[in-house]
Amino acid sequence: MRALFFRIYLILLMLPCAGFAQQIANVAAANRIIANVDSFLRRMPIEKVFTHTDRPYYSNTDTIWLKNYVLNGLLEYSKQSGVVYAELVNDTGRVVMQQAMPVFTGVNWGQIILDSTIVSEGNYTLRTYTNWMQNMGAESFYTQQLYINGTDENNRRVNAGILARQDTVQTSLQILEADGSPLRLQDMQLLLTGGRKTWFKEKRQTDLEGKVNLNFIVPKNASAGNLTLI
């Protein structure tokens, strides 16, 4: 009987040691996985570009100012590529403008100077990428939606009436040409933006007096003072 108790006592003493040994084995296995992933990322570098623009909408005679960050799979500044390509793609998928910008230590600043003879009014996609990212396909490119106005719209005038009630805003707009005549039966795309975010966009048509009405609810996460209707 004493021998049995002694064996049980020894087993109980060894249990913490066995658990500790298992923990060491788990840590070692995790370290091996991390080392393998790190080795793979260094042998097959992954690059991602993140781009900031100075605003979400432009006239087709403006300059789009860009700041690009080029990171690797470890979210460090990438040393793989020295050039970022920026393209402006229209709604038919055609690249209408392209700019190559040198990268220094994973960051660069650049611009796309819009040409009104090439860029017409409409929705565009800005996409940025490196030459290495083309190995991963276009789905790896950074993309951002932009709206570009026509040059003639800079000469138009807008008379606006706005009525705000709690979170609901009612707007009445009259759009006039440079000579003061109403912009009649013209399709318009109205955007509600806040900072870099577009909350919604809607197509409307002006009436015979150049007027268009739009009612909307201020988004819950938006600050009414930072909203812009264009």
Side-chain half-sphere exposure of 42, counting CA atoms within 13 A: 6
Strands 122-129 and 227-229 come out as unpaired
* pTM of the complete model: 0.54
Among 26-30, 128-132, 207-211, the minimum mean pLDDT is found in 26-30
Q: Cα-flanking dihedrals φ and ψ of residue 83, to 5°?
A: -140, 135
Q: Which amino acid is at 207?
A: D
Q: How many CB atoms lie within 10 A of CB 161?
A: 11
Q: What is the DSSP letter of 60?
A: T
Q: Which pLDDT does position 173 carry in this prediction?
A: 83
Instruction: Express each pLDDT in 152-198 by its tens digit.
Output: 555 677 777 777 777 787 888 888 877 778 888 777 777 767 656 67
Contacts of 186 (CB under 8 A, 6+ apart): 175, 205, 206, 210
Instruction: Express each pLDDT in 88-126 by its tens digit.
Output: 999 899 999 999 999 988 899 999 999 988 998 888 999
Smallest Cα–Cα separation from 158: which of 225, 215, 229? 229
Instruction: Express each pLDDT in 59-87 by its tens digit.
Output: 888 899 999 999 988 888 888 889 999 99
Classify residue 121 as left (phi > 0), alpha (psi -120 to 50) or beta.
beta
Sign of CA dihedral 37, 39, 42, 43: negative
Contacts of 171 (CB under 8 A, 6+ apart): 160, 161, 162, 163, 213, 214, 215, 216, 229
The answer to whether 85 touches 158, Cβ cutoff 8 Å, is no
